[in-house]
Amino acid sequence: MQKFVNQYNSSLILKFKHMNRFWRTLLLTSLFVGITDLILAYSMQFAHTGKFADKMLYHMAGAALGFETSRQGGFWIGLLGLFFHFFIAFSFTLLIFITFPKFKMQSLNRYWLLVLGMLYAPFVSCFMRYIVLPLTRLPAQKPLDVQGELLGWVIFGIVFGIPIFLSASRYYKKQ
C-alpha cells in the first residue's frame, strides 16, 4: 500500500512539473495570493475585534447558501467557503494574466507594476462590493467608507495585487 501511495504522489509531482507553464504559474500565483489574502482577512478581523473569526469561511459560503443556512456551520460549509475564496483569487489572477500581454504591460518597469498592483486592490474590492456581492444571497453591504478602506486597500495591494502583477511580468518576460 505504501509503495502505491509513494508512486501516486510521485506521479502527481511529475505531472505538475510537466504542466503547461502558463497554468502552473497561474495556479501557484493564485494559491499564494489566496493564502496571503486569507491570512490578511483573519488578521484584520482579529485586530478589529480582538477575537478569532471562526465563522469567516461560513460567511463566504453564505453567498450561495444564504446567510442563515451558512451560519449553521460544519466542515462542508467551511470547505465551500474556502472554495469560493480560492475561486475568486484564481479569477482575478487569471484576469491579469490574460490582459497583461494585450496591454503590453511586460514592457513596463518594476515601479509601474507596483503602482498597478496597488491600484488593483481598490478595483477588486469595488468590483466585489458593487457587482459580485449584490448577486449573492448575503445581506446588503454597508455604504463604502473610502477613508476607512484605505489602509485595507494598501495592505490588500501588497499581498494580492503586487504579487499578481510581478508574477505575470516574470512569466511574460521569460517567453
Mean predicted confidence (pLDDT) in 17-32: 92
Residue 7, pLDDT score: 64
Report which of 21, 158, 39, 27 is spatially closest to residue 94, judged by C-alpha positions.
Answer: 27
The 10s digit of each residue's pLDDT in 37-73 is: 999 999 999 998 999 999 999 999 999 999 899 999 9
Q: What is the pTM of this model?
A: 0.88
71 in Cβ contact with 16 (< 8 Å): no
* Grid coordinates belonging to 104: 503590453
Delimit the domains of the chain by residue range. Answer: 20-173
**CA dist., res. 17 & res. 11, Å (int):** 10
Q: Apex CA 117: angle with CA 122 and CA 127, to 5°?
A: 30
Total Cβ atoms within 10 A of residue 138: 19
- Residue 152 CA neighbour count, 13 Å, CB half: 19
Q: Output the pLDDT for position 16.
A: 62
